[in-house]
Structures are given as C-alpha cells and as structure tokens.
DNA sequence: ACAATTTTGTTGACATGTCAACAAAATCTG
DNA sequence: CAGATTTTGTTGACATGTCAACAAAATTGT
C-alpha cells in the first residue's frame, strides 16, 4: 500500500481519520515485511502461513472452524487451503459424521514446512517486539482491544437497536 | 478482510506473527467502518477522502507531492484523482514551469464536499479515541512509531549494507 | 415427517493494493 | 551541450480482500 523511500512524512495534521490512517500505513509495512520474508523462504502467502500455524495448533480442522479461529473471510481461506492442498501441505478428506464438512489436516510435508519456517517468523516477531518493553507491549495490545470495543459499540449503535 | 459475527475469537496462541495479525484484524475493521461511513454519506473511497483532506490542507498540489505526503502508491493516487476529477471535486491543469507536473486543486464543489464530510469523519475519530485516555493515546502512537523504527532497521539490515 | 432455517464450502464479480514498464520532461555530469 | 539519469504521471497485470449467490447437507420447530 505504501511507498518505501521518502525521508520526511511531513505534516498530515488535519487527517480526520488519523488512527485508521496510521494503522493502515503500519499494517502495510508489517505485511510487506512478512510477505517478503515468506517469499524469500517459501511459496506461501501470509494467509497460508497463518493457516499452517492454525492447523498445527488445531491438529485437524475444517473451513468453518478456521474461519472462526482466524476471523478471515471464508472465500479467502477456501482459496488458501486449495493452494496448500495443491502444494501437498494439507490434505482434505470427507467428514464421516457430517458430509458438508471436510476434514483438513497437515501432511508430514506441511508439518515440516511449518517447522522450517517457524524460527524465521518467530525471529521476525521477536525482532519487532524488542522495540517495546513488556509494559508497552501490554498497553499496545490493550489499546487494540479498546479500539475493537469502540467499534463493537459503533456497530451496535447503527445496525441492531 | 474479516468476518463480523463470531462470539469467541478463541486461542491463537502460537501465531508467530502476532502483531501483524492483530493489526491486520483491527485495521480491517477500522477500514470497513470508515468505508461504510463514507459510502453512507458520499461516493468517495477512503483513499479519495484522504486525498480530499490533503488537498484541503495543501491548497494546491501535484501527484508526486501527494505521494510523499500520504505515502501511498502513486498508481492508487493517480486513479483516485482521476475519479475525483470525473466527479468534479478536483481540477487538474498544466504546470506552467514544469510540464511533467500537473497542478491539482479542489473545486468549490470539492471544498464543499470536504466540509460536509468533515464533521462525520471527525466524529468517528473522536468516538473511537474516546476509549483511550490521553496517555494511552500517546503511548499507542509511540508504539506505532517504535514498530516503524524496527522495520526501518530490518530493511536497512537486509537491503543496503 | 417435513418445511423452513442454518451451516458448510465453492464460486464469480468486483474493489483495493502493489509492482513494473513506460513516455515525456527535467536535471545532472562530464 | 550531448548523453545518461531522475522525476512525474499513466497504464496493465496481478495479488489480495470482500461480498453475495449458490448447492448440498444438517438442524430446528411444529
């Protein structure tokens, strides 16, 4: 989303949209950084990396559960899994009990891939977070939660009275 | 990017990608909220709203300057301006001194649009930020800056040694 | 038991974000 | 001043995110 160079971001005083704007820029950079790392070490998209991680934790899952878990769009996850399936990282099989569902699980190759990438991604996370001390980190996440709350209220106010 | 419903986001313990992931979710919601508000009150995209705001501040500008100002992709801004031009919100004219440049300025209609939307958008911003007290807010922005710094260092480390 | 509703997953369409190629003009450099 | 480089802006291609329609299966309510 953003342009890398630029010595001076300059003013931007009246952006009546500041948090969203600031977060958009930060998020775009974090994203680009993660995607770059992933591309450098694998063929996974960021979404696929997250699916890999979630599947590693869950052991076995299905799309709907992954949607709930990651809170991503189901179309996006469906396509993400499709790609991983084609790459042999996951296998999809029918659920005996409920034939709408599919059982998704990592293949050994998928597990290996996850183990290979984990140190890289964890290192990145650590590197970034090292710039905040423990208290800052906690407060940062609290602030994120607070903004989520604000949005919850805003949506409640407009949609369901 | 995300799905609205969902009572329980649940675990997500091992996401070796936590900040990026958390910010992605927050950002998607903030974005959707802003876009919704804008759609409800105008025909502007979020990018166009930001262009409108920047142009209001700058008075007169050109694409390259807007790119520097907002740090957005120039393709995106080029298309954003094109749309606003078609809608009669800005006018583009040739720069006398440098004929690569174009002079971009708001039309009276553009100014009016900005004034009409400002209270709405500012209200939204205020509403969200009301959930953080002054100190939290300051620390939140500081944390954002700190993470930007971390990324600066990371990029420096990899690209230009 | 069966009609209405909900859940699951796929798909197509479209909006947005990103990257690279490009043309035209300006600027830099020997 | 001529050739190389940089700046400005547009465009096409492609990745990603979002929304809505849909079919098939399960669940609910009477």
| Average pLDDT of chain B to the nearest whole number | 88
Q: What is the predicted pLDDT for the residue at B10?
A: 53
Burial of A55 from C-beta contacts in 10 A (0-12 / 13-18 / 19+): buried
Q: How many other β-carbons are positioned within 10 Å of the β-carbon of residue B157?
A: 10
Name all protein residues with C-beta less than 7 A from any atom of nucleic acid chain C. Answer: A 1-2, 24, 28, 31-32, 62-65, 74-75, 78-79, 81-82, 92, 95, 98, 100-102; B 35, 45-47, 72-76, 97-100
Q: Name residues 47-66 of chain A within 8 A of B (Cβ).
A: 49-50, 53-54, 56-57
3-class SS of residue B131: coil
CA B89 – CA A84 distance, rounded (Å): 45
Q: What percentage of chain B reaches a pLDDT higher than 90?
A: 78
In this prediction, residues A147-157 reach a mean pLDDT of 84
Q: Which residue is nearest to nucleotide D24 (CA to C1')?
A: A100
**Contact status of A67 with chain B (Cβ, < 8 Å):** yes
DSSP-derived secondary structure letter, B98: -
pTM of the model: 0.88
Q: Residue B158 has what pLDDT? A: 57
Average predicted confidence (pLDDT) for chain A: 88
Strand D nearby residues, CB < 7 A: A 35, 45-47, 72-76, 97-100; B 1-2, 24, 28, 31-32, 62-65, 74-75, 78-79, 81-82, 92, 95, 98, 100-102
Greater confidence (A99 vs A14) lies with: A99
Q: Is the pLDDT of residue B88 over 90?
A: yes
Give the pLDDT band of residue B7 (cuts 50, 70, 90).
very low
Q: Which nucleotide is nearest to A99 (CA to C1')?
A: D25
Separation between the CA of B100 and the C1’ of D4 (whole angstroms):
19
Distance spanning both ends of chain B, measured CA to CA: 36
Q: At what angle do helices A108-129 and B18-41 cross, to 10 degrees?
A: 80
Average pLDDT over residues B57-79: 95
Distance from CA of A44 to the nearest CA of B (A): 14
pLDDT tens digits, residue range A26-83?
Answer: 999 999 999 999 999 999 999 999 999 999 999 999 999 999 999 999 999 999 999 9
What does the pLDDT read at residue A154? 82
Tally the residues of chain A.
Answer: 161
Distance of alpha carbon A29 from alpha carbon B10, whole angstroms: 27
Q: What is the pLDDT of residue B11?
A: 56
Q: For nucleotide D17, give the residue with the nearest CA to its C1'.
A: B1
Report whether pLDDT(A8) > 50. Answer: no
CB-nearest partner of A143 from B3, B136, B147:
B136
């Amino acid at each position: 989303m953003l342009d890398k160079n630029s010595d001076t971001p300059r003013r931007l005083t009246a952006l009546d949209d500041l948090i969203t704007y600031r977060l958009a820029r930060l998020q775009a950079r974090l994203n680009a950084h993660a995607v770059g790392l992933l591309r450098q070490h694998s063929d996974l998209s960021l979404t696929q990396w997250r699916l890999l991680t979630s599947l590693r934790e869950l052991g076995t899952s299905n799309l709907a559960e992954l949607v709930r878990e990651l809170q991503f769009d189901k179309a996006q996850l469906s396509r993400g899994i499709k790609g991983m399936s084609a790459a042999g990282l996951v296998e999809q099989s029918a659920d005996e009990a409920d034939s709408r569902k599919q059982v998704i699980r990592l293949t050994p190759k998928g597990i290996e891939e996850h183990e290979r990438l984990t140190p890289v991604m964890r290192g990145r996370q650590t590197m970034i977070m090292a710039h905040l001390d423990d208290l800052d980190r906690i407060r940062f996440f609290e602030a994120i939660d607070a903004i989520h709350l604000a949005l919850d209220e805003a949506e409640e106010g407009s949609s369901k009275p």
